[in-house]
Amino acid sequence: MTRKFTGDQILVATHNKGKLEEMKTLLEPYGVKVVGAGELSLPEPEETEDTFVGNARIKAHAAAKATGLPALSDDSGITIDALNGAPGVYTADWAETGNGRDFMMAMTRANTELDAIKAPLPRTAQFRCTLVLAWPDGDDEVFEGVMPGQLIWPIRGAHGFGYDPMFQPDGETLTCAEMAPADKHKISHRGRAVAAFVKGCFGG
């Protein structure tokens, strides 16, 4: 049985402003105050696992232990079928420049690698999100969400963040970056993972 969340404040263990804003929006209807790890000046633990759930657990437990608050961590990324699931847990690493992250560079790399192997259309991919809710006593719960779709080129749209401009969800004609944020949240991998979290930990 899933352990219930009974507090009115939750720490989201991320320094990514885009992820934090999405989480605040998704959890707002449940009356939970969201605070980010960056706002508390928590250090970013090294992500040494090769799975989404492994890295999410590292971040969630580190934040819960440091603050004494329940901590919700998101590890997410894009898996591209023709690239054998890459970049996967290395999604953000593909954007790393040594002086911040450049997702235009990351998207260009993905398209270039697909072109190099002459990957056929549609170039199917999935956005994946794993949430781990960790308590200070060491307990945790895991929730997952997946949004299938395909990669398009050239990129389209100015909303969202990350790889959103090149990702067109199944059943949609717009990329994630062309959608209004509220429409994206309804179908996104993170929205689906949060829905599973809410159902499991709030009973709603």
- Mind telling me the catalytic residues? 75
Residues 148 and 193: their CA atoms lie apart, in Å, by 14
Residues 29 and 24: their CA atoms lie apart, in Å, by 9
Residues 57 and 18: their CA atoms lie apart, in Å, by 20
Neighbours of 35 (CB within 10 A): 16
Neighbours of 202 (CB within 10 A): 15
Radius of gyration in angstroms for the set of CA atoms belonging to the chain, rounded to a whole number = 17
Burial call 81-111: b when 16+ CB within 10 Å, e when fewer: bbbeebbbbebbebbeeeeebebeebbeebb
CA 146 to the chain's CA centroid? 10
Is residue 145 within 8 Å of 193, Cβ to Cβ? yes
